[in-house]
Amino acid sequence: DTEVTQTPKHLVMGMTNKKSLKCEQHMGHRAMYWYKQKAKKPPELMFVYSYEKLSINESVPSRFSPECPNSSLLNLHLHALQPEDSALYLCASSQVGQGDIQYFGAGTRLSVL
Amino acid sequence: ILNVEQSPQSLHVQEGDSTNFTCSFPSSNFYALHWYRWETAKSPEALFVMTLNGDEKKKGRISATLNTKEGYSYLYIKGSQPEDSATYLCAFITGTASKLTFGTGTRLQVTL
């Protein structure tokens, strides 16, 4: 099973809402990632978890709050987002090793109204 | 800020044509280069991980080469098929950072 599952596929939220994005993998990978992709731009790294600990935060605003409850799950909690946060949010996982292939989910398309 | 550039931005070829595109990256502090294929509404899928200067990798009709000294990688598709239509992304990793920096991608469309 090389699948990374993201839910929901689509999400519409207001600027005062609180919502969460979920990501799950059962490949035994110990590194998990959140990326943000705006239209016609490359994916940009937001966060990296390694062995369930946050190892990289790419200066992401605090309205995005990641959580890694266990080695298979990764959440991204959203609060007080802005319309410019509308984007495709991709989750990925890999073996822990610099340069390992990353396996991606299909993403959550987020619209902030 | 690392600059990873891909060209062309988009490409439209006929079925059966062979094609290639380029990924340019900083030649210093190289660790690895990945190629991914991303079909619309699907997950990006890894094609190749390239680490050594002069590497050549092949997967079916798709192959890639790597030149770390001059900072470029080529992706070749032989005999393009409509199912090859996708965006092809390269991603660069330095020796000091455990993260991928993606290029802007080449969008390939193959028509009958």
Structure confidence by residue, pLDDT tens digits, A22-74: 999 999 999 999 999 998 899 999 999 999 999 999 999 999 999 999 999 99
Query: For tokens 């009709």, what's the residue?
Result: B61
The mean of the pLDDT values for chain A is 94
**Residue B57 clears pLDDT 90, i.e. is over it:** yes
Tell me what pLDDT residue A99 has.
81
**Residue B44 clears pLDDT 80, i.e. is over it:** yes
- Three-state DSSP at A40 gives coil
DSSP B40: T
Among B100, B101, B104, most A C-beta atoms within 10 A, so best to mutate, is: B100
Here the tokens at position B80 are: 């393009």
Query: For tokens 């993998």, what's the residue?
Result: A25
Does residue A92 contact residue A104 with C-beta atoms inside 8 Å?
yes
Cα B73 to the chain's mean position, in Å?
7
Tell me what pLDDT residue B110 has.
97
Using the beta-carbon criterion (under 8 Å), do A101 and B49 form an inter-chain contact?
A: yes
**Residue B1 clears pLDDT 80, i.e. is over it:** no
Tell me what pLDDT residue A97 has.
72
Tell me what pLDDT residue B27 has.
86
Here the tokens at position B84 are: 């090859």
Q: How far is B24 from chain A (nearest CA, A)?
A: 14
Tell me what pLDDT residue B91 has.
95
Name A61's Cβ contacts closer than 8 Å, sequence gap at least 6.
none
Q: At CB < 8 A and 24+ separation, what contacts does B78-82 make?
A: B78/B18, B79/B16, B79/B17, B79/B18, B80/B13, B80/B14, B80/B15, B80/B16, B80/B17, B80/B18, B80/B19, B80/B108, B80/B110, B81/B15, B81/B110, B82/B15, B82/B110, B82/B111, B82/B112
Tell me what pLDDT residue B61 has.
97
Q: Which residues sit opposite B17 in a β-bridge?
A: none
What confidence category does residue B95 fall into, taking pLDDT thresholds of 50, 70 and 90?
confident
Tell me what pLDDT residue A73 has.
97
Among A9, A50, A56, A101, most B C-beta atoms within 10 A, so best to mutate, is: A101
Identify the burial level of B96 via C-beta atoms within 10 angstroms of its C-beta, where 0-12 means exposed, 13-18 middle and 19 or more buried: exposed
Chain A residues within 8 angstroms (CB to CB) of chain B: 4, 40-45, 48, 50, 55-56, 58, 90, 98-107
**Residue A1 clears pLDDT 70, i.e. is over it:** no
